[in-house]
Amino acid sequence: MEKGKRSNKKIDIEQVDKKISEKKAKIKINKKEEKENINNNQSKYGIFEVLLVVVIASLIFSLVGYFIGIKSNLIGDVNYSTASKEIQKFIEEYNYVLENYYGDIDKEELISGAIKGMLSSLDEYSEFVGDDSNNFSITLEGEYEGLGVGISSTTDNEIIITTIYPNSPAEKSGLKVADIITKFNGESVEGLSTTELVDKISQADDISITVLRDEEELTFNLKKEKIVIDSVHSEMKENNIGYIKVDVFANNTYSQFKQALENLESQNMKSLIIDLRSNGGGHLSAAKDILSLFMNNTHVIYQTEDKNGIEKFYSDGDEDKTYKIVILQNSVSASASEVVTSCLKEQLGAYIIGTTSYGKGTVQNLQNVSGIGQYKVTTKKWLTSNGEWINEVGIKPNLEVSLSENYFKNPSLETDDQYQAAIKYLKES
């Protein structure tokens, strides 16, 4: 796209990725950072994404893309004479298996297996995700029916609770952040992925969860309820410093953020801390709308690059904010949260405090295959407003600060080294 030309095209979904815990193992996050990821949002109900995985019952996604042009044809009897050489080869083998396998064949299972195999040859974010109850889109819608608990895998392959939503079945039952899940309905979860555990919980009516807490095994019985996610938390701090914590970029995050920002500005806010720690991402549209609150429409917010080239996406705002902005991030801040951080840093000079962000610089689209399920495939790179690709690199902070042992013993904003560093910076600026 030519410089200065605005695009009206929108990316529907920047999906919170389900493999963040496995990538954490690959990039060898140390134990202290891992503990930080689990605990730093304990008092503010942060959401871990990617895998931030929120336990849910039923979910519905807005779907885009298509399955190699012939998704409905693969199941019925059709003429494939116009298919490409590669597809013809697949169809020949598909028909051979149908005609020669000794037992009964479920055609839909056969196709889902083929899709899984195809996607496994691509990048780590392209994967089959099952039917529409096996994703966490309602988390991104801002409400869902479930337990109100977020989980993740540790580098030791344990499933650990990272988020407890207020007034949720999880909170009411007594489950806590950092509990290690050992059993579901009396059966060991050893060897299960977080996605597999989510699937089991989403399909169950009666739910029993056993956890390990301080070397003691405890069991909790829960019932799913409707959970409305408050993804934004805000308050005015000393010296007229505003504080806004964003847990995830859901459909209702923009309206919550706008209200919080306007409320703080009405109280004569002089500077702002935006806390994106452990925010694994969400909808790019929500990130774009939030950024438009801070800058006029001459500013590029982010760019995307695909096989057709690079496209720039501009702010829809009317004015630039002039107060100082500090962003808090950690190694799990990913995707849409990195879009916000990089844009405010590059366009308005925001100051970044914390640890290097996760580094997810790709966009996935979700596709529905009728009668079979859904898969997501990486379709684009996203670039920062200045055209940088931060994939597997992340965003380095201006000031690197880790959380101390004192915080882990008594987690709060008062013992939060990163937050206190932000307050100090704004007071002295």
pTM of the model: 0.66
Helix/strand/coil for 301:
strand
Question: What pLDDT is recorded for position 55?
Answer: 32
Domain count, the chain: 1
The predicted-structure confidence for 145-181, as pLDDT tens digits, reads as follows 889 888 888 878 899 998 888 788 999 999 998 899 9
Is 153 within 8 Å of 142 (Cβ atoms)? no
Judge whether 335 lies within some domain: yes
Judge whether 177 lies within some domain: no
CA 45 remoteness from chain centre: 15
* CB neighbour list of residue 395: distance below 8 Å, 6 or more residues apart: 329, 333, 338, 341, 342, 345, 352, 356, 357, 359
Strand 216-222, strand 207-213: pairing? antiparallel
The predicted-structure confidence for 284-323, as pLDDT tens digits, reads as follows 899 999 999 999 999 999 999 999 999 999 999 999 999 9
* CB neighbour list of residue 313: distance below 8 Å, 6 or more residues apart: 7, 288, 300, 301, 302, 303, 304
Q: Which of 9-18, 289-298, 324-333 has the lowest mean pLDDT?
A: 9-18
Q: How far apart are CA 237 and CA 274, in angstroms?
A: 13
Question: What pLDDT is recorded for position 311?
Answer: 96
Judge whether 236 lies within some domain: yes
Residue 46 has pLDDT above 90, yes or no: no
Question: What pLDDT is recorded for position 333?
Answer: 95
Give the CA-trace dihedral at 198, 127, 142, 229, to 10 degrees: 40
* Residue range of the domain that includes 359: 230-428
CATH of the domain at 243: 3.90.226.10
The predicted-structure confidence for 363-386, as pLDDT tens digits, reads as follows 888 787 777 777 888 999 999 999
Judge whether 249 lies within some domain: yes
Question: What pLDDT is recorded for position 290?
Answer: 98
Judge whether 377 lies within some domain: yes
Judge whether 139 lies within some domain: no
Of 52, 131, 142, the residue nearest 373 (C-alpha): 131
Judge whether 345 lies within some domain: yes
Judge whether 276 lies within some domain: yes
